[in-house]
Chains A and B, each alone.
Chain A
Amino acid sequence: MPDVTTLSASDCDALAQGLRDAADAAKEQRKVIDPQGQEYFVLQRQEDALRDMADQYTAIAIERDTVLPDLSAAHLQAAIDQANQTLLGIKKVKAAIGVFAGLIDFASAVISKKPKAIWDAAKVLKDRVDAVA
């Protein structure tokens, strides 16, 4: 894992782009239907959090300082809980569980504040969301 202090402005640009891609994927996949035909907005809250993080990394790219975004753990936990509750209704949908696993990986990476891990997790999440689509 790279030391966060070595993050360059272009690393932050790439990270911001990855987060925007993940947010777009989340947006497109929001409409998930469970076996009972109920619609869920699965990743809605994640989309907003991802967009917020994308703008934070853009700000860091501009500043190119060494401070990671001050992500509120409570804010993330609320997002995960929301996704968890929503996904409980569709846990039989295998691909959706993959998205959930990706979300957990992503959140873990964010909490650990390791940019490379966040980047990798964002890509995995995007792939899984794409797979559901």
Chain B
Amino acid sequence: MAAEQACIGSGRFAIVPRLLLSVLLLVSGCSVNMAAVRTFSAETQQLTQAVDALVADAGASCTRRVDRLELIRAPEAEVVTGYRRTCERLAKASDVPRRYNTLLAEYGKTLGALANDQAATFTSELAEARDSVAALAGGAGAGGVDAREIEAGTRVADLISKLATSGVRQRAVTEMLRRHDDISALCGVLKRYIDPRYVGVLDNEAGALDGLGIDLDRRYTGNEPIRTRELIRDYREAGKGLEAKRAAARKTVQALDALVVTHGKLADSAGKLDREDLVQSVRSYGKDVRGVVEQLRAAHGGS
């Protein structure tokens, strides 16, 4: 009897260590070093803030151009009204890339939350962006995005929504990283918007600035020399600011390329996210993002 109890007891003790081992394995599997993913998330959120600044500036650039020509050349009021309508149209058209940027920002934020073993959240901004992108499907080719890009946007938003409601945490990082093609599509929309479109609008503003400077010098120096000199100085500074903005736009496109490459590496290494080369790759991406932020800071100091 005693021998039988000892036998049962030893069997029980044999099960407990096995269970403990299983739990330990499970826990250690969930707590992979996510430093690379966390850094990627933080850099991506910073990059999307920079993209937001560029998207908001397209309509503003047009408005600055019209403000200056109204001051110097004083065209008829109805002509100015027409020009201002164009600026409003540019600002409104920029709403689509802005929504795509929101999706990318929310993706980065969710990835960071999951990597920190926190729950994903579905924000009202994300809901609006999702609805806005999904609505594009109604008009063929509307918004400058194709069907594949519309699907990519809605899929990313739906995934975050699903993760937020299911309450899954760190183990969902891999599921998110699998959406590499969708992330690449979102970045494609933003890159196309920044160059040639936003850069083109800045080129237009810069070209107009040169012409107005010539006009000022030629027509007003004699009558209003002090005010003319002030304006010419302001226009030169604005010209430098525009050059810095164009440089920031070009760097942003490079950083979006780096985002796609780095995300691809993370996606390919989903089971081994603590690899040193991944950390290096994310750091390199972070360097690109810092370049954008610094360039934008310089641009806003100049205009």
Contact = CB atoms under 8 A, between A and B. Distances in A.
A52 B144 contact: no
Nearest to A24: B207
A3 to B, nearest CB: 14
Contacts, number: 102
A24 to B, nearest CB: 5
Contact of B93 (A27, A62, A72): A62
A63 B143 contact: yes
Contact of A30 (B89, B97, B141, B214): B214
A4 interface: no
B83 A20 contact: no
A15 to B, nearest CB: 11
B23 to A, nearest CB: 54
Interface in B102-136: none
Assign chain A's interface to a size class.
35 or more
Given A27-B211, A45-B75, A51-B207, A58 B90 contact: yes
Contacts of B93: 59-60, 62-63
Interface stretch (B13-21, B38-46, B198-206): B198-206
Interface in A1-35: 9, 13, 16-17, 20, 23-24, 27, 30-31
Nearest to B88: A59
Interface residues of B, number: 41
B185 interface: no
B210 interface: yes
A122 interface: no
B89 A74 contact: no
A64 B86 contact: no
Contact of B144 (A31, A63, A69, A75): A63
A55 B139 contact: no
A48 B83 contact: yes
Nearest to A8: B141
Contact of A63 (B83, B142, B208, B215): B142
A17 B196 contact: yes
A54 interface: yes
Interface of B: 58, 62, 65, 69, 73, 75-76, 78-79, 82-83, 85-87, 89-90, 92-94, 96-97, 139, 141-144, 192-193, 196-197, 200-201, 203-204, 207-208, 210-211, 214-215, 218
Given A52-B82, A72-B78, A75-B79, 7 more contacts: A9-B192, A51-B65, A55-B90, A55-B201, A56-B89, A59-B86, A62-B143
26 contacts: A13-B196, A17-B196, A23-B207, A23-B208, A27-B207, A27-B211, A30-B214, A31-B214, A39-B218, A41-B215, A44-B211, A45-B75, A47-B211, A48-B75, A48-B208, A54-B200, A56-B89, A59-B86, A61-B197, A63-B93, A63-B144, A64-B141, A65-B139, A72-B78, A75-B78, A78-B76
